[in-house]
Structure 1
Amino acid sequence: MPQPQLRPELTSDAECPVPLETLGAIYRGDREEVDAIVAGIPPRTRARLASYLYSKSHLHAIGLRVAATCEEFDLVQVAGVAGSVLYAQSRTRTRPAEARAPATRRVSLAGSLAARGAA
């Protein structure tokens, strides 16, 4: 297995690795459209795109989706250790946040009224 380069090719904040039209199509597209667009992007550029998207809080989920189509080697070359973490996170299956119900506590006001009467 080839050794990853020691210095990752970090993408600067201002430089998107794909044309803005492509970025817009990815942002607006549904799952099938995004998959088709990403499939046409060369592997190294796709890894740079995943890293770029993941670094933006509002594009975090799309970055994970693009990273899921990348090889770990490419992500590590592009983003170093962060690329390895991105690779692992993109392959971890978790329940969507909206599917998780927050724990609810039942509150009884009856105990409060009894305590007030005793005071």
Structure 2
Amino acid sequence: MPAPQARSPSPDDCPVSLDVLGTLYRGDAEMVETVLSDIPSATRARLATYLYGKSHLHALGLRVASACTETDLVRVAGTAGAVLYAQSRAAPRAPEARHAGPRRISLAGSRSVA
């Protein structure tokens, strides 16, 4: 009979409870810091990579990764962990300026001649 193999974690397995995840998602910066400080470092690194891999939780993943060490992130996700560590510490990009009003469309050569 073959030896049972360890089950590798599925990308859909969140390393924290849904209650903790909800608190992180809805919490302000201070609340997030408090919750993250109670999560063991290896679990925090797994959580950061899990969240970063979900497009709608990408920013939260970066926030969690900023509370992780590079060593933990690399241990959990290899080279991707090193990239996640660097991105979590990079200066955030300024959001693109959006115009409040509707865009004006001009058509070249549509001037009326008087």
Q: Unaligned stretches of 5+ in structure 1?
A: 1-9
- Quote the Cα distance in structure 1 between the aligned partners of 2:64 and 2:110: 53
1:1-119 matched pairs, under 5 angstroms? 11-97=9-95, 100-101=96-97, 111-114=109-112
CA separation of 1:48 and 1:77: change in aligned 2, threshold 3 A: same
Q: Is the partner of 1:70 in helix, strand or coil? A: coil
Contact 1:51 1:79 (8 Å CA) reproduced? yes
C-alpha distance in structure 1 between counterparts of 2:41 and 2:51, whole Å? 15
Distance 2:108 2:78 in 1: 58
CA deviation vs aligned residue, 1:25-78 (integer Å, no higher than 9, x gap): 111111111111011111100000000000011110010000001000100010
Q: TM-score, normalised by structure 2?
A: 0.78
Give structure 2 stretches of 5+ with no counterpart: 1-7, 99-103
Paired residue type of 1:19: S
Contact 1:50 1:63 in 2 (8 A): yes
Deviation at 1:110, TM superposition (A): 8.3
Normalising by structure 1, what TM-score? Answer: 0.75
* 1:7-36 C-alpha deviation (Å, 9 max, x unpaired): xxx752221101111111111111111111
Partners in 1 of 2:94 and 2:40 — Cα distance?
29
Highest RCO, 1 vs 2 (Cα 8 Å, sep ≥ 6): 1
Q: Percent identity?
A: 59
Aligned residue type for 1:101: A
